[in-house]
Chain A
């Protein structure tokens, strides 16, 4: 049993390292394409965490929707307008700086507050029921709000892809 434990723990930290690496790539890279692919790495790492925590369905959905759909949409949007030799310059000033730091701090505060406030309970024993009936009832009865919100995420992803892919002439007078 101990070998399994070591392997599982190793995988867990491996996935965390993968997520950190992807996140840093997303934030620091100067090439838009690298940023999006870093995001894909983050998504795959998160899927691995879901898998590790005994929720393979979530893991598969994570890969199917975020890597297979959202990232492909973003990459598709970017590849039309940007070539590998076109490195963006840093725009580390004014509005961008304020917006970015505001979002980061808000996100950090929200997440930490949730983490501290939530009364964590151990997850119930894995249900293991992936029949159509069970999934359908879960999606359209129990978790219908979350299910509908996911489609908003997809809409935002498509809008984001359009905004990113739009040529910069309109906002940039130079």
Chain B
């Protein structure tokens, strides 16, 4: 295999990177389709209605039809907007969402590139999304968009603190930022969720807020702000934001799985170096389904409740947790 591909013009390593990028894009779009269907179907079921039923068996092709419709729609640019930024905002939101896929270890041999500081890489790349939401809200020149964007930033900045603090507790134990290293530190069923369940809960709550999911979906609260920062967007602009949101959910759940649920580890499978990715995806989608379940079960919180919950409960708890972890490690 390697002799065929080692042509000198395209080195193997380069081919590997290109292949990893293609896989990353496939995962991003595949995840958006699966999540879009699951969300609509489950939302329907939770509300005692069937959800999409018309296109294909139990509406399974609904997302393909929706995709064609969104691609075909006219891109409407309102008059008073900042035209360049208005067009750029969905792209700035969506593009960084693809990059973390390259460093996420799906299985021992299914990883685009193992990065010493993979965790920081993901955090840095995902931070650009906040800027994209701000640009989207501001360039629309619409008060709902502006309010949505401002809420999003306040929420993201606040919830980043407990998220990073709990993350730091895990890093204290493993002593590495490499995602693969963190997964390998939990091999043999010694998942961190068993040692620090509080950190897992705090981290999961913080990721819910970071990805703007209900009950913390105030940036796009339908009943108050029509659609928040994406009110003015139509067609592909809107759907890029939509896909970006699902991808960030996927990334957040992948991080949770890597940090607390042992990554790819699970009962051994044949060709485990590749197929154990099934365990990884099973855990990620279990978490994603929990996110959907939470969204359609709990009502949206008020903004003061949201910030109080973060500053009065999550931040102190995660600080104490970090302290306890450090003390236990020193003992």
Q: Does A53 contact B (CB under 8 A)?
A: no
Q: Does A14 contact B (CB under 8 A)?
A: no
- Chain A residue numbers with a CB within 8 Å of B138 are 33, 75, 79, 84
Interface size on A, residues (CB 8 A): 32
- Chain B residue numbers with a CB within 8 Å of A83 are 141
Q: Does A67 contact B (CB under 8 A)?
A: yes
Cα of A147 to Cα of B149 in the assembled complex, Å: 31
Task: Bits for B110-138, please: 1 = Cβ < 8 Å to A, else 0.
Answer: 00000111001101110110110011011
Taking a contact as CB atoms under 8 Å apart, the answer to whether B124 and A60 are in contact is yes
Taking a contact as CB atoms under 8 Å apart, the answer to whether A63 and B11 are in contact is no
Cβ-closest chain B residue relative to A69? B127
Interface of B is mostly: helix
Q: Does B81 contact A (CB under 8 A)?
A: yes
Q: Does A68 contact B (CB under 8 A)?
A: yes
Taking a contact as CB atoms under 8 Å apart, the answer to whether A79 and B176 are in contact is no
Surface stretch bound by B, among A102-110, A113-121, A130-138: A130-138
User: Among the listed A1, A7, A130, which residue makes an inter-chain contact with B117, where contact means beta carbons less than 8 Å apart?
Assistant: A130
Taking a contact as CB atoms under 8 Å apart, the answer to whether B117 and A56 are in contact is yes
Q: Does B60 contact A (CB under 8 A)?
A: no
- Chain A residue numbers with a CB within 8 Å of B85 are 33-34, 37, 84
Task: Bits for B175-191, please: 1 = Cβ < 8 Å to A, else 0.
Answer: 11110000000000000
- Chain A residue numbers with a CB within 8 Å of B81 are 84
Q: Does A13 contact B (CB under 8 A)?
A: no
Q: Does A35 contact B (CB under 8 A)?
A: no
- With A72-B130, A131-B176 in contact, is A84–B120 under 8 Å at CB? no
- With A79-B150, A84-B141 in contact, is A64–B175 under 8 Å at CB? no
Q: Does B80 contact A (CB under 8 A)?
A: yes
Cα of A1 to Cα of B8 in the assembled complex, Å: 8
Cα of A128 to Cα of B114 in the assembled complex, Å: 13
Q: Does B158 contact A (CB under 8 A)?
A: no
Cα of A75 to Cα of B124 in the assembled complex, Å: 18
Taking a contact as CB atoms under 8 Å apart, the answer to whether A37 and B135 are in contact is yes
Q: Does A97 contact B (CB under 8 A)?
A: no
User: Among the listed A1, A56, A80, which residue makes an inter-chain contact with B116, where contact means beta carbons less than 8 Å apart?
Assistant: A56
- Chain A residue numbers with a CB within 8 Å of B124 are 60-61, 63-64, 67-68
Taking a contact as CB atoms under 8 Å apart, the answer to whether A67 and B131 are in contact is yes
- With A76-B134, A131-B175 in contact, is A67–B128 under 8 Å at CB? yes
B200 to chain A, nearest CB (A): 20
Taking a contact as CB atoms under 8 Å apart, the answer to whether A68 and B130 are in contact is yes
Taking a contact as CB atoms under 8 Å apart, the answer to whether A72 and B80 are in contact is no
- With A68-B124, A68-B128 in contact, is A76–B153 under 8 Å at CB? yes
Taking a contact as CB atoms under 8 Å apart, the answer to whether A63 and B125 are in contact is yes
User: Among the listed A3, A67, A79, A132, which residue makes an inter-chain contact with B11, where contact means beta carbons less than 8 Å apart?
Assistant: A3
Taking a contact as CB atoms under 8 Å apart, the answer to whether A71 and B131 are in contact is yes
Cβ-closest chain B residue relative to A83? B141
- With A56-B116, A63-B127, A68-B130 in contact, is A132–B135 under 8 Å at CB? no
Taking a contact as CB atoms under 8 Å apart, the answer to whether B80 and A85 are in contact is yes
Cα of A80 to Cα of B121 in the assembled complex, Å: 30
Q: Does A57 contact B (CB under 8 A)?
A: yes
Taking a contact as CB atoms under 8 Å apart, the answer to whether B176 and A132 are in contact is yes
Q: Does A143 contact B (CB under 8 A)?
A: no
- Chain A residue numbers with a CB within 8 Å of B149 are 79
Cβ-closest chain A residue relative to B122? A60
Considering only residues 54-92 of chain A, those with a C-beta below 8 Å from chain B are: 56-57, 60-61, 63-64, 67-69, 71-72, 75-76, 79-80, 83-85
Considering only residues 142-173 of chain B, those with a C-beta below 8 Å from chain A are: 146, 149-150, 153, 157, 171-172
Q: Does B271 contact A (CB under 8 A)?
A: no
- Chain B residue numbers with a CB within 8 Å of A75 are 131, 134-135, 138
Taking a contact as CB atoms under 8 Å apart, the answer to whether B139 and A84 are in contact is yes
Cα of A34 to Cα of B175 in the assembled complex, Å: 41
- Chain A residue numbers with a CB within 8 Å of B153 are 72, 76
Taking a contact as CB atoms under 8 Å apart, the answer to whether A64 and B123 are in contact is yes
12 A-B residue pairs with CB within 8 Å: A4-B11, A33-B85, A56-B117, A61-B124, A67-B128, A67-B131, A68-B124, A72-B134, A84-B80, A84-B81, A84-B82, A85-B141
By Cβ-Cβ distance, the 5 closest A-B pairs, closest first, are: A68-B127, A84-B82, A130-B116, A63-B124, A64-B124
Additional A-B contact list (8), CB under 8 Å, known A3-B9, A63-B125, A72-B157? A40-B131, A67-B128, A72-B134, A79-B146, A84-B81, A130-B178, A132-B171, A132-B177
